[in-house]
Amino acid sequence: MRSIDVVGTASALPDAWSSRSLGDVGTARVKVLRMDGGPVPEEAHGAAEVLLVLDGRLELSVEGAEVAVGTGEMYRVPAGARHAVRPGSRGTLVIVEVPGE
């Protein structure tokens, strides 16, 4: 397998917040997307997910608490936690999730 240009893949996506799968590891899927400053509505998942900011900043609301995740930082959203992206989130985001849970 060859290496993947994660930031380049995100930059080439036609729309912000539309993710692209980079591959699977066990039952987990690794995705990348480009954040454009706009908010994303609240959601919850049956399994925990990891949000890793490659560049930029992710502004979240998790169960009503404000969370900021900067370049090189990651945040683990617990299973079932209500979370939303707040305005001002920009950059490249990697998501590790278990699909369908």
For residue 101, pLDDT over 80 is answered with no
Compute φ and ψ for 10, nearest 5 degrees. -65, -40
Residues 6+ apart with CB under 8 A from 16: 33, 34, 35, 36, 38
Provide the CA 80 distance to its chain's centre, in angstroms.
16
pTM above 0.85, yes or no: yes
The tens digit of pLDDT for each residue in 53-95 reads 999 999 999 999 999 999 999 999 999 999 999 999 999 999 9
Is 40 within 8 Å of 98 (Cβ atoms)?
A: no
The pLDDT of residue 99 is: 85
Q: How many CB atoms lie within 10 A of CB 45?
A: 17
